[in-house]
């Protein structure tokens, strides 16, 4: 049988109020169906119709498909209907609920990601190649991320400042490894003005004596200021943060993940000792990890980058790595121990307690609008964006339902009283962010609009709800039509707990995804199978996090990168020492590292 039948499908469904199992064996000419019902066992060998694109309904229920053929089988005085239609190619039809996002994650994950951004109105592509326009809803999300992070920076003693966007080329030349790492991504300003070309157009004029680089990062320009600010050990530690935009010329862009211009923060510090600088590096990595876990509800793994993946000019680079729903890794933040490299290049010196001159020990660390991309890919579903409550631009949206102008006034007044009460309630040390949708749209249109925007709680109120002094609520972490009627008093008394429950459930779901797709792999064949998908299963998403041994060789690291497009994401900080053999050369290894495909 196996030599004849090429595909097997097993489906279990509720039919006549009971669970039944159907098993399908398929070749080019026949469907062979094993049908199990109570104590009965039936085999149907059904020859296909001429149309080769034949498909069977998963739910064994009336199908909406056009051009179907109906076959009946009588047993126990009951009828069982099998529907065959011309919608697929030797596949079992998925009769699923309509989704707001097309395509779905399973069908085309990269395009699904772009569509979530579009329907949730977060951002759009700019007329400037490789750049994006962050729309008000997307920027409100960034403001919330920025606000909470900024508070954490200040709690750890850092102060905000701002430095020039343009960096003289000579500044980059002082740190050779740094400039080589960014040389291909730099946008360069060479002229100072535009001039009339006499033909109705413009030409560039005023060539600069020294080209200026639009900052790809600010170590060099900030280092020049630090060299003036730091004179004595009494000036240290110097703890500075900058909120700014960055330009890195990108060939392949994707909104929030990789664009030519993006928003970020970059911390820069100077210390009197190596130990103090290293402590700062790891402290800020911990700040990032805590924020991403507690506010964005994304589990992350803290680790150190391999030498080949370090920030240009750094002695050590540390990162937080997260798993997205397609099982790829995303680097969500980095923290760099720069040693004295940049201090020597910029001349950051200080007089120590003994009156001797030393170079400072520096660090830098940053996160960007890439965190929004991480949030989208970690939590959103096939109906749109899902936003964790702690960073949501809107916590609760009210949708009034009415049939007349008189009803409209009554319903809106009822909602107004609730919103007044809500504004007195604190959620995670903040006032609740509430919106009432009074637009001239149907309730269905409003419902799907807010589902796609990912607002944590949606509340519908009509005249019947007012009569009962109740509310009809839906939480975005559940299915769109899972709604519940609760009393107004219960809603007001428990709203903070409801929001925190959503926050917690999003983290637990993301954590479970990471746990289920993280494996220890000790054989090279298993490793390659883990990251490769057979051609016959091309829509399947491969991989996850592979915890495997690596000898430390850059050759082995490069080999797997070229053959599988898999990289070492990090050497986990919490990884225990464990002797083993490198998967690729058999060399000695002291601990496991994380391999994954990544953004």
**pLDDT, greater one: 110 or 98:** 110
What integer pLDDT is reported at residue 96 of this predicted model? 47
What integer pLDDT is reported at residue 338 of this predicted model? 97
Domain 118-167+216-379's class?
alpha beta
What integer pLDDT is reported at residue 181 of this predicted model? 73
| Nearest C-alpha neighbor of 396 from the set 489, 462, 458 | 458
Distance CA 140, CA 153 (A): 20
Extract the tokens encoding 370: 């890439």
| Nearest C-alpha neighbor of 385 from the set 399, 373, 369 | 373
- What's 598's DSSP letter? B
**pLDDT, greater one: 435 or 82:** 435
- Give the torsion sign (CA, 52, 58, 61, 66): negative
Q: Give the pLDDT band of residue 98 (cuts 50, 70, 90).
A: confident
DSSP 400-436: E--SSHHHHHHHHHHHHHHHHHHTT-EETTEE--EEE
Distance CA 559, CA 543 (A): 17
Under 8 Å between Cβ of 245 and 259:
no
Q: Which fold has domain 518-596?
A: Translation Initiation Factor IF3 (3.30.110)
What integer pLDDT is reported at residue 32 of this predicted model? 46
Distance CA 528, CA 534 (A): 11
Under 8 Å between Cβ of 300 and 321:
yes
What integer pLDDT is reported at residue 183 of this predicted model? 82
Query: Across 52-160, where does the E strand assignment appear?
Result: 55-57, 69-75, 78-85, 92-93, 123-125, 132-134, 159-160
pTM of the model: 0.83
Chain segment 513-570, per-residue pLDDT in tens: 999 999 999 999 999 999 997 654 556 678 999 999 999 999 999 999 999 999 999 9
What 3-state class would DSSP assign to 569? strand
What integer pLDDT is reported at residue 260 of this predicted model? 96
Cis peptide before 382 (omega within 30 of 0): no
Measured between alpha carbons, how far is residue 515 from residues 273, 374, 502, 544, 546 in Å?
39, 18, 20, 10, 11
Q: Which residues contact 319 (CB under 8 A, 6 or more apart)?
A: 285, 302, 303, 304, 305, 331, 332, 333, 334, 335, 569, 570
- Spatial strand order of the sheet with 483-487 comes to 434-436, 396-400, 457-461, 470-475, 483-487
Q: Which residues pair with 40 in a beta bridge?
A: 37
Which position has the token pair 């497009």?
Answer: 565
Q: Which residues contact 430 (CB under 8 A, 6 or more apart)?
A: none
What integer pLDDT is reported at residue 175 of this predicted model? 72
Q: Which residues contact 97 (CB under 8 A, 6 or more apart)?
A: none
Instruction: Please state the rounded mean pLDDT for residues 433-443.
Output: 97
Extract the tokens encoding 37: 């019902």
Question: Beta 166-168 vs 580-581: how paired, if at all?
Answer: unpaired
The end-to-end CA distance of the chain, in Å, is: 43
What integer pLDDT is reported at residue 63 of this predicted model? 35
Q: Give the pLDDT band of residue 92 (cuts 50, 70, 90).
A: very low
Chain segment 3-40, per-residue pLDDT in tens: 333 444 444 444 334 444 455 444 444 444 444 433 34
Distance CA 584, CA 559 (A): 8
What 3-state class would DSSP assign to 19? strand
Under 8 Å between Cβ of 179 and 237:
no
Q: Which residues pair with 349 in a beta bridge?
A: 359
**pLDDT, greater one: 177 or 266:** 266
Q: Which fold has domain 389-514?
A: Rossmann fold (3.40.50)
Cis peptide before 237 (omega within 30 of 0): yes
Chain segment 470-493, per-residue pLDDT in tens: 999 999 999 988 999 999 999 999
């Amino acid at each position: 049988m196996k030599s004849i039948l090429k595909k097997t499908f097993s489906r279990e469904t509720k039919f006549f109020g009971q669970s039944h199992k159907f098993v399908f064996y398929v070749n080019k000419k026949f469907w062979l169906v094993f049908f199990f019902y109570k104590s009965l066992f039936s085999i149907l060998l059904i020859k296909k119709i001429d149309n080769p694109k034949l498909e069977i309904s998963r739910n064994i229920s009336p199908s909406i498909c056009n051009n179907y053929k109906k076959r009946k089988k009588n047993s126990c005085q009951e009828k069982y209907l099998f529907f065959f239609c011309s919608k697929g190619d030797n596949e079992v039809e998925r009769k699923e609920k309509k989704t707001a996002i097309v395509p779905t994650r399973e069908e085309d994950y990269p395009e699904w990601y772009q569509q979530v951004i579009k329907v949730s109105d977060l951002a759009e592509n700019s007329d400037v190649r490789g750049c994006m326009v962050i729309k008000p809803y997307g920027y409100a999300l960034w403001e919330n991320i920025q606000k909470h992070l900024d508070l954490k920076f200040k709690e750890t003693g850092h102060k905000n400042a701002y430095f020039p966007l343009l960096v003289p080329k000579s500044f980059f030349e002082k740190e050779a490894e740094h400039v080589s790492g960014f040389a291909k991504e730099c946008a360069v300003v060479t002229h100072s003005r535009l001039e009339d070309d006499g033909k109705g157009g413009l030409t560039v004029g005023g060539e600069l004596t020294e080209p200026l680089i639009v900052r790809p990062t600010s170590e060099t320009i900030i280092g020049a200021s630090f060299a003036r600010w730091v004179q004595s050990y009494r000036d240290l530690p110097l703890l500075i943060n900058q909120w700014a935009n960055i330009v890195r010329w990108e060939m392949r862009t994707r909104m929030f993940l990789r664009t030519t211009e993006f928003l970020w923060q970059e911390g820069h510090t100077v210390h009197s000792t190596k130990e103090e600088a290293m402590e700062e590096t790891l402290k800020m990595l911990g700040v990032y990890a805590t924020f991403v876990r507690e506010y964005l509800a994304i589990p992350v793994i803290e680790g150190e980058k391999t030498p080949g993946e370090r920030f240009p000019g750094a002695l050590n680079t540390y990162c937080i790595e997260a798993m997205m729903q397609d099982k790829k890794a995303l680097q969500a933040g980095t923290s760099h121990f720069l040693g004295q490299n940049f201090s020597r290049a910029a001349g950051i010196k200080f007089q120590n307690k003994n009156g001797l001159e030393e170079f400072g020990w520096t660090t830098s660390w940053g996160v960007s609008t890439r965190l929004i991309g991480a949030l989208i890919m970690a939590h959103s579903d096939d109906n749109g964006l899902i936003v964790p409550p702690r960073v949501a631009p809107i916590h609760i949206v009210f949708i009034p339902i009415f049939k007349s102008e008189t009803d409209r006034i009554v319903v809106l007044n009822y909602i107004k009283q609730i919103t007044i009460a809500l504004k007195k309630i604190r959620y995670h040390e903040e006032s609740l962010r509430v919106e009432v949708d009074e637009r001239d749209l149907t309730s269905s249109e409003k419902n799907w609009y807010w589902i796609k925007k990912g607002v944590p709680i949606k509340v519908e109120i009509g005249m019947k709800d007012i009569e009962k002094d109740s509310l009809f609520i839906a939480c975005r972490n559940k299915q769109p039509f899972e709604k519940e009627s609760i009393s107004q008093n219960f809603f007001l008394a428990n709203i903070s707990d409801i929001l925190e429950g959503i926050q917690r459930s999003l983290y637990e779901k993301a954590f479970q995804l990471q746990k289920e797709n993280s494996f220890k792999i000790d054989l090279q064949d298993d490793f390659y199978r883990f990251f490769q998908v057979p051609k016959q299963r091309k829509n399947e998403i491969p991989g996850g996090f592979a915890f495997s041994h690596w000898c430390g060789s850059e050759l082995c690291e490069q080999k797997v990168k070229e053959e599988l497009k898999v990289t070492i994401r990090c050497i986990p900080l919490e990884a225990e020492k464990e002797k083993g053999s490198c998967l690729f050369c058999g060399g000695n290894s002291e601990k496991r590292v994380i391999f994954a495909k990544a953004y």
